[in-house]
Structure 1
Amino acid sequence: MIGRKEPATRWAWVEIDQGALRRNTRAFKNLLGPRQRLCCVIKADAYGHGAVACAKVMHATGCDMFAVATVLEGVELRQGGIEEPILVLSEPPLTAIDTLLEYRLMPSVYTSEFALAYGERAVSLGTVGKYHMAIETGMNRIGVHYTEVLDFRREIDFHRGIQCDGVFTHFATADESSGWDYQLQRTRFDEAVGALRDAGFECGIVHCDNTAASILDASSHYDMIRAGIGLYGLQPCEATRPVFPLEPVMSVRARVTRTVHPAMGEGVGYGFTYRVPRARVQICTLPVGYADGLARTLSNRMDVLYRGQRLRQVGNICMDQFMVAIQQTSMRQMPEAQMGDVMTIVGRDGDAEITMDEMARLRGTISYEVACGFGMRLEKVYC
């Protein structure tokens, strides 16, 4: 803990292990053949890890393209010096077209109204707007229905202001690569791509793999994979865990801001959902709360790490702070904390570890949501 980098203005932070991020990115790159590409998904501020900083590490490790969810996420990358192709994984509103062209962002396209307006504006600016065609194969979220791809391309391909740079779909059940639903989506996608090629339409980069499919089904890599959550060391599903080791990139830590020994029976936090059960229980306050992604539903249910041991969180988690208890027992003698001591909310301390998956299980959600939440307000420190 000595000599760690941390913010100057708050005793709580997120640590991003750039070495782990580099190794995870390389692991996905190593799945590919010499002509296949790696698209790194860094939407939602790189799942809370910091988009521009992560993109620079990924670029240095061999990333060929980036994918984001919104136009402004793409703008942030361009303003941060990222020059690789950037795909927006949805079709933005018509009012975003000028921004797309100014910052060389490729939208996903699945309505002729948008495609033609995009082309008209590109022509007026003396350029060509690249796009990726989203194909709906069964998830029923976005895309041109797989049975309508020829009609769609016939409707828009006359326009000299647009160019198809790729076609893609997204799997709903990639964690079950041998399952009927996954195989049906694969078949529908293959049929749609085959029909486009047979009709003479340019498909560009053909891609369909998310993190799980990238790991579990090499036959579906096509021209490019879209790696997302796995880049950050989090497993997309249980099936990938034993076959593709990953290193967690994010840790969450805080320093103790106050210690106190309340009398037996005294309450702690809003609503007094915890009361001190005996004398000589030390209550420590940490400056992290539900506004920082530490869900209030974890109140009185989660642990933190201190000196390699687990401590119980007590009382209701507040917006900006929470409390833990250090309680001596006949089975465990625990050193009391001092103001300024570091505790770990997610990550490793000695031989002990609290994972995003553990926290997600307690919350009844997935690790994606946990990581994104911690990245919203806590300052990031890159190690």
Structure 2
Amino acid sequence: MDRVTSPATRWSWVEVNLAALRRNTSAFRRRLGRGVQMMCVIKADAYGHGAVPCAKTMHAAGASQFAVATVSEGVALREAGIEWPVLVLSEPPVDCVGTLVEHDLMPAVYTADFALALGEAAAARGRVARYHLAVDTGMTRIGVRRQDAVELRRTIDFHRGLECAGTFTHFATADTLDDWDFALQLNRFREVVAALRGAGLDTGLVHCDNTPGTVLHPECHFDMCRVGVGLYGLHPADATRPMIDLEPVMSVRGRVVRVIYPNVGDGVGYGLTYRVPKKNIQVATVPIGYADGLARELSNSMDVLVGGARCRQVGNICMDQFMFAVDVNSARAYRPSRPVEYGDVVTVIGEDGDERIGADEMASLRNTINYEVVCDFGMRLEKIYT
């Protein structure tokens, strides 16, 4: 573990295992029938993993389209040379229609004013803007109301600058088996698609399954599935775990930048919330803090891995650093086989020997979801691709 590559400027980093990402992508691709496309969701810098390297790896493993949350995320992909279709998963401000056209980004559309402005911007440049119609089937977040979908399409379809490339909805409870609300949303979506086609309107690619939907509800794969968090080796729900094998893609590591034997009774960190209880306790510092995604609420309650063993984090987590303690004389397994030294590798998320700390473990301690954990770590830490 000590031979791992680390950044030269700061001893803290995120490792992204592109081989695991490729295998996860292939596992989802194999679940889709012939002709069903896979749209990979790479919003929030690919959930903290790095959008551009991830997109290239996913495309090589069978992805045909990509989805982002913001126009800026889409522009960054284009500027990095990503030319595959990119969907912006919500309807952005009307002021950015020119940017959408310029960079060939497909927005979600659910209001006539935005759609017509998009069409005008495209026609002025001699182009046709592709979009996906977003339908609210019950999540009450974004989308045209299902009873208004046909009217909206009839209002905007005359415009020569517009082309409907897809029709989609998003499920609120796709991660729950035999759920009444899921069945209701699916039925409503099918009715909207049928009504659009019955009115002679082209729906483009029909898609509704997210990560749990792709695994648990193959009956509604339709023309395309939008796969997100599962690509990164994270399960969206316990129900998917026996259905598909996934490998975690992200590890978070740092190196010890200071290690001492404090006096008995010495306090550690802001507020001195931990005090050294006896002799021969080491306290080591690692340059990862809450500005790097290590939530302050984890203070004095989380473990890290050092030398293949768990060690307890102590003191309040700082903005840029945290501390952990090692009882050198302990006979228990809850310590490394030797005293900690300057430069030792410390794993916050990932594997070290036979031990592993996953995003799910940290999410449980934070009373949140694994999605948030990995997104947080992607904010500032340098990424190393393996």
Could you say whether these structures have the same fold, taking a TM-score greater than 0.5 normalized by the shorter chain as the test?
Answer: yes
How many pairs does the alignment contain? 383
SS in 1 for 2:379: helix
Residue 132 of structure 1 corresponds to 132
Residue 355 of structure 1 corresponds to 358
1:251 maps to a residue whose letter is S
Residue 118 of structure 1 corresponds to 118
Residue 223 of structure 1 corresponds to 223
Distance 2:24 2:82 in 1: 20
> TM-score, normalised on structure 2?
0.98
1:253-268 superposed matches below 5 A? 253-268=253-268
Superposed CA offset, 1:189-217 (max 9, x none): 00000000011000000000100000001
Residue 276 of structure 1 corresponds to 276
Distance 2:174 2:331 in 1: 49
SS in 1 for 2:343: coil
Distance 1:3 1:99 in 2: 45
1:172-321 superposed matches below 5 A? 172-321=172-321
Mean CA deviation greater in 170-179 or 324-333: 324-333
1:28 maps to a residue whose letter is F
SS in 2 for 1:58: helix
Distance 1:352 1:331 in 2: 15
Distance 1:106 1:177 in 2: 32
Superposed CA offset, 1:105-135 (max 9, x none): 0000000000011111111110001000000
Instruction: State whether structure 2 residue 88 is matched by structure 1 residue 85.
Output: no
CA drift of 1:148 comes to 1.1
Distance 1:194 1:164 in 2: 15
Q: Is the 8 A contact 2:305 2:348 kept in 1?
A: yes
Structure 1: where are the runs of 5+ without partners? none
Residue 371 of structure 2 corresponds to 368
Distance 2:143 2:332 in 1: 59
1:7 and 1:331, CA in 2 relative to 1: closer, same or farther beyond 3 A? closer
Superposed CA offset, 1:241-263 (max 9, x none): 11111000000000000001111
Residue 377 of structure 1 corresponds to 380
Distance 2:320 2:312 in 1: 18
2:191 maps to a residue whose letter is E
Q: Is the 8 A contact 1:285 1:321 kept in 2?
A: yes
Superposed CA offset, 1:42-82 (max 9, x none): 00000000000101101111110000000000011111111
Mean CA deviation greater in 29-38 or 322-331: 322-331
Superposed CA offset, 1:249-293 (max 9, x none): 000000000001111001000000000000110000000000000
CA drift of 1:2 comes to 4.8
CA drift of 1:314 comes to 0.2
Distance 2:120 2:306 in 1: 60
SS in 2 for 1:380: strand
SS in 1 for 2:140: coil
> TM-score, normalised on structure 1?
0.99
CA drift of 1:5 comes to 2.5
Instruction: State whether structure 2 residue 357 is matched by structure 1 residue 329.
Output: no
SS in 1 for 2:118: helix
2:64 maps to a residue whose letter is D
Q: Is the 8 A contact 1:132 1:168 kept in 2?
A: yes
SS in 2 for 1:376: coil
Aligned identity (percent) is: 60
Mean CA deviation greater in 321-330 or 109-118: 321-330
Residue 36 of structure 1 corresponds to 36
Q: Is the 8 A contact 2:2 2:344 kept in 1?
A: no
Distance 2:96 2:167 in 1: 21
